[in-house]
Amino acid sequence: MLDKSRRFRKFEGSYDWSKNQLKNLPKASKDELDEIREHIQKENRKSRIKQWAIFSSIFIILFAVFIYLIH
């Protein structure tokens, strides 16, 4: 069995949260946030349509091959 103690040494002890603070991000207005949200939703819709199209085409091809092999 592999010795995993060396891999996890960096996780020993406490974590210094002061070095991992978020930077000051620019403020966004409600309209900008709505635009970003709509843009992300459109991208997600497009990717979902692509996934369904690929899945459907693969399923139809497999179904056609199955029907061909039965006859």
Sign of CA dihedral 37, 39, 41, 43: negative
pLDDT value of position 39: 96
Place of tokens 């409600």: 30
pTM: 0.54
Residue 56: count of CB within 10 angstroms of its CB:
10
pLDDT value of position 28: 86
* One pLDDT digit (tens) per residue for the chain, 71 residues: 566 666 655 555 555 556 566 566 678 899 999 999 999 999 999 999 999 999 999 999 999 999 999 98
Domain boundaries along the sequence of the chain: 29-71
Count Cα neighbours of 28 within 13 Å in the Cβ-side half-sphere.
9
Count Cα neighbours of 4 within 13 Å in the Cβ-side half-sphere.
3
Entry field: residues in the chain: 71
